[in-house]
Amino acid sequence: MSTNDSTVRIGLILPDVMGTYGDDGNALILRQRLRWRGYDAEIVRITLDDPVPDSCDIYAVGGGEDAAQVLATKHLSDSRGVQAAVAKGTPVLAICAGMQIFGEWFAIADGSRVPGLGLLDVTTLPQKTRSIGEVASAPLLDGLTEPLLGFENHMGATELGPDAAPLGRVTAGTGNGVAGGEGPADDGGEGVVQGSIIATYMHGPALSRNPQLADLLLSRALGVDTLDPVDVPAQERLRSERLAAGRR
């Protein structure tokens, strides 16, 4: 999509089970940043009662606990709209448990492994302790130059395979974690990038703290190289505050 005369459709995936930490806000931020630039935009809520369409221009999925992850994985495996959209190159933002279910498999509290969607070359095992607190990273994805900021809250340690790359290099917090251990990930990575999917452990919601990341996703959805800047002073104050919090 590259013109202002069509409505941009933002697919919010399973907000009824995968929105534990306010991650639904990412869809709101995408919609508002489009409207500030004169685009018509709507959020398409895709619940457990709905088939998953492959026709949205961009998708977002949030976090959830074990039971929610299992429900979400089954629904997305049965109704394969996201897989079809990814095959077409449609941008997707996956947060925390959303990142895990997009992988090859993830382990839940009882130790069993649940097959994921196979869209990311990652696997997830439990950490020894929960990672919780501010997380920051230096971006590794082309088009991003500003530090990435968020709030992590996860027990999972996500290991990247050769087809996946980290979104950033951890400067504060844990990031992708270490299975059975503590502290930063072995490779110091945070998040995952593969194909049209950008995944991260950052809550916040992530796009409220990272407008450059939001605009990168939107430029991909619109099929444009750049977007007109928008001036939101409160956003810069939030970033400064969170940067300071991460250094404590």
User: What separation, in Å, do the N-terminal and C-terminal C-alpha atoms of the chain show?
Assistant: 43
- Residue 24 to residue 209: CA distance in whole angstroms: 14
- Residue 237 to residue 121: CA distance in whole angstroms: 36
> Which residues 6+ apart lie within 8 Å of 228 measured at CB?
37
Cβ-based neighbour number of residue 121 at 10 Å: 16
Alpha helices in 102-170 (DSSP H): none
- 31 known member of a binding site: no
Q: Which residues are catalytic?
A: 96, 203
- Residue 213 to residue 206: CA distance in whole angstroms: 9
Cα torsion at 65, 173, 194, 164 (round to 10°)?
-100
**Element (DSSP H or E) covering residue 8:** strand 8-13
Furthest-apart CA pair in the chain: how many Å? 51
- Residue 70 to residue 180: CA distance in whole angstroms: 22
Pick from 10, 176, 162, 195: nearest CA to 86: 195
- Residues making up the annotated binding site for substrate are 130
- Residues making up the annotated binding site are 130
